Each structure stands twice: as structure tokens, then as C-alpha cells.
Amino acid sequence: MRQKKPRPRFPGLKLKDEDRELLRRKARERLTVRTWKRIRMLQLLDEGKTLAATAAAVGSAVPSVRRVGERYLAAGVEV
């Protein structure tokens, strides 16, 4: 029997405290679905969820989750 490969986690994504608080406040505002999904993706990745679990939770695809995480790491939360 083959062993299952561990699901990839997004490496190195830990939100800064001020970014975490900003996202928490923004999530309570009136948002487009697209913006809400991106905020939720970052929150779930920060919690240590896998790319697949995050994608399933927000109804998106794994490459989209990866792109959002990479953008955050490159330029911060405002992107």
C-alpha cells in the first residue's frame, strides 16, 4: 500500500499582527465576494491550513489560493 503524500502547506505565510487585525475589521464590512474570499484565504493560510483545505473552504481553486498567498508575501496586505 502506498503512503499518501502530505498535503502541501503554504510555506512561510504568517500574518503580521496589524495585518491580521486589519483583515478582521475588513471582513466585517460590506465587501464583494472576491474580496471576502481573498481575506478568508489569507486568514486560513495564517492558521496553517493546507492549500487544498483553504481552496475547498472558500470555494476556489488551489492555484488561486497560492497566488493570493504569494502576493501577500511579496507586497503585503494592501495588494
Q: Which domain holds residue 63?
A: 39-78
Residue 49 grid cell: 491550513
Give the single-character DSSP code of 30: -
Write down the pLDDT at residue 5.
65
Distance CA 39, CA 68 (A): 9
In a domain, 55, yes or no: yes
* Residue 8 confidence (pLDDT): 62
Question: CB under 8 Å to 57, separation ≥6 — which residues?
Answer: 40, 44, 49
Neighbours of 6 (CB within 10 A): 7
Q: What's the pLDDT tens digit per position in 24-71?
A: 999 999 999 999 999 999 999 999 999 999 999 999 999 999 999 999
Place 15 in a pLDDT band, splitting at 50, 70 and 90: very high
- 8, part of any domain: no
Predicted model pTM: 0.85
pLDDT for res 49: 92
Specify the 3-state DSSP secondary structure of 70: helix
Number of domains in the chain: 1
